[in-house]
Structure 1
């Protein structure tokens, strides 16, 4: 059997949708929502709605560009062509590090979930056990990965739908004065921490949506990207927005927001335990564990493919662009497990690994999203000027909505400096400086960059 040189196009529309859903419905909803509630109180509902609006704008830009250029490098490749090679370098490496660190966030959360059943077992044990299993899954064919991700996502989505039905039944049918819409205004009102709390919770909500852009990365292995990518993007944004807002609204009507906040335990588990449903807490904890494994699985895939793309563009050593006989870039996969070991080290030393890992992973993600908006501004002008084909999907409201999305992200990141999430900029600014220096040396070593296979696809 010959060694493949290009990724195989085997992923179907339903698999693309479930992969993106799997990446996005992880600790951001099940554990991170508790952190957001603690910051904003009931007004967290507006925070998630605004976060969903930003993601909707992002997906509109991304769908148009991805259909035009369905490659594994995705938005990194597009930034390289339409802005500059320097921009493509920054975007690809920032997205790679964001996913590598997000893997650490998910696996840190797994350690928290397992304490529900095994409080005396060190979290580092669970980090290493589950990491080994998911590395094995990602080392097999892309179809094996997609199959696992599909069923992981089915479990999560089914659980969320069940939670919505159960929550709605309790809110409508419960005679208890402690359950109902009045919880939105009790204990400090709808905005107990004012606009500042609502604003910072938007930033947390964006972490919950991190992963929706993964569809663009999977386009390099999609069977029919013109059809599959737009359908998957639309379905993902609609489902995520609906799930997040409805589930959090029901949660806040059932449990006072002070009890739902925090990251010591998932607020979903707290709801089930307070309702005294037999074994419901344990069952929900298992489902949430599955959600974290699913998100970690998807992020491992995303970081592996982005490192593969970096290698193909000569921005990383050639070894990371090599595929095994099953079409998997194993060396890129091995490098992308760094976040797991970082999480293991932090978990063994600190009890605040989840907020810390989330903070440092967010800069790369938000910077990537910001650059997607900027790339779209350049892309649309160039596409029309060069007489590109009529695309099956176009971003509405260009250039105003594209610019609005970029402005909102920029403002959110700047304001983190005045909050407990200073780590975002403390990590992010030095990271961009480091990448800029690295690009300078790369440029000196490659004065005449060769026309790579991935670039030829763009022309």
Structure 2
């Protein structure tokens, strides 16, 4: 497989500051799924759903720690795609890069539709597709302008999400502790409706399949850090603080939701945070939370375009994507990579409008397990690369290597098995495996067309690894 010059991520404009990276890391964890989908998890698991979030959080933390170790030792815009290539071979890097890109362009389309759906509550007369298009154009312009504008938008988007969660944690704590007017200390909802696990302890682990997708995004900070002045510091800070972020934002807020409202309450269904705030007695709770959810959607849309474009840029640098994707604007952003990712995202919006129950549903399902494949390859990459990295570059280390690395990989496989067993997720796993199979076929075809690795290509790979 002949490689052309591997594009140095340094060619991209280093316009992200430490405060941008901090908020990108925080915002990456808080997705719209937390605000909207958590009610379904509580309904499935029961009041003990906060333990499902805690277990899933541990899994994400361990994957982030592994990624942090590799990223601090060798910051790269390609991040885990580059690490998979070095550790496991070209097939792994090709797979991770294209699967991760595919995952995020589908997310971009989905979030555009979701955001348009929220806007329709305030603008019922405007067509859904038109508002989805407007959101896509807005976020595309943000990414095209400069990486600093992406970072600035994400800084404020994340700020709104964090503020909303912090306010909810404060008000919810006062409410359940009996410090709210007219309230007494009350944790009865945790036990009065069938106990912590009314649907059995097995439901605790069954919920992990859904919860893990609501936490996707923490790893974006390791990609964005390559476009900052201090990548090592940014990555180390992001990976070290992920424990606190997940335990407070997810476990803490889900615990309060399950304490404020009965787990089998119908009010938990559509928007659990709105239901909880209305129970507390906050005026205009629905409008406030709709603004917060819209912000979360725009944040995900913004980060999705950024992440997909950078992965496409890196794939082009490895001659695994069209070379046009390497074109940079005067402001140092990959213009064609951004526009290409936007077009795919917009085609998803069209599919949602024209064929919501077939094409759009197929696209969503076919990306369902993709992120788990990526996380599994991150584990396998760290397992191998740890032995190849000089000790002085290991400023962040995976805990209890190699035991925890192996256990994490086994846990991810267990989640995939759980997806195969569950009727509602089996199609996602099968279609995601089909997507991976197609990527591997594309890799084989490309390798045969390109021929064997040239010495020059090997030299380039070695120089990239030493960076």
Pairwise same-fold verdict (TM > 0.5): yes
**1:407-426 maps to which residues of 2 (within 5 A)?**
407-419=410-422, 420-426=424-430
Q: Specify the alignment match of 1:372 in structure 2.
A: 378
Aligned match for 1:7, one of 9, 12, 18: 12
SS at the partner of 2:369? helix
Tell me what 1:48 maps to: 53
Matches within 5 A, 1:54-69: 54-69=59-74
Which of 428, 437, 456 pairs up with 2:463? 456
Distance 1:260 1:295 in 2: 28
Residue 3 of structure 2 aligns with which residue?
none
Q: Which runs of 5+ in 2 are unaligned?
A: 1-8
Q: Which residue of 2 aligns with 1:345?
A: 351
**Residue 109 of structure 1, CA deviation:** 2.7
1:445 paired to 2:452: no
Say if 2:172 and 2:280, in contact at 8 Å, map to a contact too.
no
- Shift of residue 451 of structure 1? 5.0
- Please give the secondary structure, in 2, of the residue aligned with 1:396: coil
Report the alpha carbon displacement of residue 188 of structure 1 after superposing the two structures with TM. Answer: 3.1
- How do residues 189-338 of structure 1 correspond to structure 2 at under 5 angstroms? 189-259=195-265, 265-337=270-342, 338=344
> What SS does structure 2 have at the residue aligned with 1:139?
helix
- How far apart are residue 240 of structure 1 and its match? 2.8
**2-structure distance, mates of 1:63, 1:233:** 6
Give the Cα separation in 2 of the matches to 1:453 and 1:6. 16
Q: What is the alpha-carbon distance in structure 2 between the residues aligned to residue 119 and residue 453 of structure 1?
A: 55
Task: State the alpha-carbon separation in 2 of the partners of residues 427 and 61 from structure 1.
Answer: 28
Quote the Cα distance in structure 1 between the aligned partners of 2:283 and 2:360.
Answer: 29
For normalisation by structure 1, the TM-score amounts to 0.91
Q: Is the 8 A contact 2:27 2:162 kept in 1?
A: no
Q: Does 1:389 align with 2:392?
A: yes
Please state how far the C-alpha of 1:258 moved relative to its aligned partner. Answer: 2.5
Q: What is the Cα deviation at residue 262 of structure 1?
A: 6.6
What do the CA deviations read for 1:24-76 (whole angstroms, capped 9, x no partner)? 21212111212322321222111100011011111111111001221111111
Deviation at 1:176, TM superposition (A): 7.5
Q: Contact (CA 8 Å) 1:123, 1:348: kept in 2 or not?
A: no
- Superposed CA offset, 1:432-451 (max 9, x none): 11011101111012214435
Q: Map 1:99-114; keep pairs closer than 5 Å.
A: 99-114=104-119
Superposed, 1:131-142 pairs within 5 Å as 131-142=136-147
What is the root-mean-square deviation in Å for CA atoms of aligned residues? Answer: 2.6
Q: Which residue of 1 aligns with 2:28?
A: 23
The runs of 5 or more residues in structure 1 that have no matched partner are: none
Superposition pairs of residues 33-182 of structure 1, within 5 angstroms: 33-119=38-124, 121-173=126-178, 180-182=186-188
Whether contact under 8 Å (1:105, 1:343) holds in the other structure is yes
CA-CA distance at 1:184 after TM superposition: 1.6
- Which stretch shows the higher mean deviation, 152-161 or 195-204? 195-204
Of 432, 439, 442 in structure 1, the residue corresponding to residue 436 of structure 2 is 432
Q: Decide whether the 8 Å contact of 1:13 with 1:231 is kept in 2.
A: no
Q: SS where residue 39 of structure 2 aligns?
A: helix
2:73 and 2:99 mapped to 1: Cα distance? 23
Cα distance in 1 for partners of 2:460, 2:298 equals 34
Name which of structure 1's ranges 355-364 and 292-301 shifts more when overlaid on structure 2: 355-364
Q: Structure 2: how far apart are the matches of 1:256 and 1:114?
A: 30
Question: Contact 1:230–1:393 at 8 Å: present in 2 too?
Answer: yes
Work out the CA distance in 1 between the residues paired with 2:313 and 2:459.
13
- TM-score when scaled to structure 2? 0.90
Are residues 345 and 352 of structure 1, via their aligned partners in 2, closer, same or farther at CA, if it must alter by over 3 Å?
closer
Q: Distance in 2 between matches of 1:260 and 1:50?
A: 26
